[in-house]
Amino acid sequence: MNQAVPQTSTAKIPVLIVVTAASFLTPFMGSAVNLAIPAIGQEFNGNALLLSWVVTSYILASAALLLPLGRLADIVGRKKIFIWGVALFTLAALFCGFAWSIAALITFRVVQGIGSAMIFSTAMAILTSAFPPQERGKVLGINVATVYTGLSLGPVLGGFLNHHLGWASIFFFNVPIGIAILLFATLKLKEEWAGAQGEKFDFPGAGLYIIGLLAFMYGMSSIATQQIAGYLLVLGVILLALFIRHEQQVSQPILQVSLFSQNITFVFSNLAALINYSATFAVGFLLSLHLQVVMGYDSQIAGLILLSQPVVMAALSPFAGRLSDRVEPRLVASWGMGLTTLGLLLFAFLSKATPLWLIIANLMLLGTGFALFSSPNSNAVMSSVEKKYYGVASSTLGTMRLTGQAASMAVVTLIIALYAGNVALTPEAADMLIKSAKTAFTVGGLTCFAGIFASLARGNVKRP
């Protein structure tokens, strides 16, 4: 079946429920795992650099596969790839809970990242396919609010579960939710969306892209700790350049390069997303270490403190999405980027003496900035392309998000390596972790400041 016909409002409700529920899982896992990092380090005797790979490995796998899987979903059906993604994500969560070493945990996190790529390469495309343009900002805002609800509950439930039942319980918590989503999607999603049905999948292009992006991001993440990383970084750049050249020469590419050469809104909206996530993703990781290692809070209390940021995100995202249906998305998103810049630069002054109320207030400021940026930016991306490119557009935006997250963790890993090396997460490491955090927040703030100009440069979205 080709692109599905417009659905009635009743038929669209199951689509919204399934997609938003699945969109809850991955951010919940990410924010909850951050609270468990010190406990995982104690059980497996891991240092700060190795533990960062519990987060980074998941992001690398997701980023490398998002774009190829988005194109595959456009061909074989977005619902099909989405359901398989939920199943793989849930199974990997089960195995993560049973991990017997940090190497095994990182391996299962890679598998979980593949499942996440299958979910996120299709989720936004399914929503955009099922809802008309005049409702798009609203439903994308609801979806973003659900993502932030996952981020909100992650620190609270993650901290609680880790404190009382151990870090593995965080992964087990996801299993019944994943099974419920899987059953509901199988029974309730009647339509299939395949905007490019019958076209060929570009396997050579997919190979160049996956290997090139993995080499580039792994090299960037490890350049401070491994000699081979520099060579991998160069190899990644070469393979990605070959990928772009290859895509320009094939009739049915994975990535329509013309979207970047001819669509200013698409280009700068994706660039703004890349910059935003590069600047902000490591905030949760850094503050989790600061609250537990430097300030001495347990994971449960640290989770409650970190809750202040995503609660504001969840509350404001639907409003920001609706606002972007009426006001040009670039204006709303640019204000969000500006507030985020301010919050990051304020955290650059973090120290042992920083009062807790100031940390919470600044987290709320960051939450406001994130909410005003995210759903309007997503609306701008999806509104700038034709229906047949929804999967590719959704995957491209997801790739920018995950590549930005990987870059954020790579920068933090590099900074920690320079200031602290292979230091264990003990109170004795507090001064080195503070120096690392202050440098990382400064870099993030300056990066986000540059993103304001990318956001403003996208131009206006053409509306019917």
Per-residue pLDDT of 44-71, as tens digits, reads 876 666 777 787 788 788 888 888 888 8
Let me know whether 127 and 246 are in one domain.
no
Q: Are 115 and 236 within one domain?
A: no
Buried b / exposed e along 47-77 (16+ C-beta atoms within 10 A): bbbbbbbbbbbbbbbbbbbbbbbbbbbbbeb
Full-model pTM: 0.72
Selection from 196, 190, 109, 182 nearest residue 391 by Cα: 196
Of 147 and 181, which is predicted with more confidence?
A: 181
The answer as to whether 372 is a domain residue is yes
| Confidence class for position 6, pLDDT limits 50, 70, 90 | very low
Average pLDDT, the chain: 80
Checking if the pLDDT of 5 tops 50, the result is no
Residue 461 lies in a domain: no
210 with 265, same domain?
Answer: no
* Segment 158-168 mean pLDDT: 84
Give 322-353 pLDDT, tens digit per residue. Answer: 777 777 777 888 898 899 999 999 998 988 88
43 and 105 both lie in a single domain: yes
pLDDT for the residue 192: 64
Q: pLDDT class for 111, splitting at 50, 70, 90?
A: very high
Give me the domain span that covers residue 223.
202-253
Query: Which residues fall within 8 angstroms of residue 35, CB to CB, at 6 or more apart?
Result: 154, 155, 158, 159, 162, 288, 299, 302, 303, 306
Q: How far apart are CA 312 and CA 361, in angstroms?
A: 11
pLDDT for 411: 82
Judge if 140 and 249 occupy the same domain.
no
CATH number of the CATH domain containing 334: 1.20.1250.20
- What is the per-residue pLDDT for 338? 92
Per-residue pLDDT for 4 more than 60? Answer: no
Residues 408, 285, single domain; the answer is yes
Q: Is the pLDDT of residue 463 over 60?
A: no
- Whether residue 464 is contained in a domain is answered as no
Do the domain assignments include residue 1?
A: no
**Digit-coded pLDDT (tens) for 281-322:** 788 888 888 888 888 887 778 878 887 887 887 788 778 877
Q: Tell me the C-alpha distance between 280 and 405, whole Å.
A: 8
| Tokens at 297, concatenated | 């809070």
Least confident range from 78-82, 194-198, 399-403: namely 194-198
Amino acid at 167: W
Q: Are residues 300 and 431 in the same domain?
A: yes
Percentage of the chain modeled with pLDDT above 70: 88
The predicted pLDDT at position 1 comes to: 42
Pairwise pLDDT comparison (327 vs 448), residue with the higher score: 448
Please check the confidence at residue 420 and state whether its pLDDT lies above 80. no
The answer on pLDDT for 7 being more than 50 is no
Counted domains in the chain: 2
**Residue 310 sits in the same domain as residue 207:** no
- Whether the predicted pLDDT of 3 surpasses 50: no
Residues 337-360 as b/e (b if ≥16 CB within 10 A, e otherwise) read bbbbbbbbbbbbebeeebeeeebb
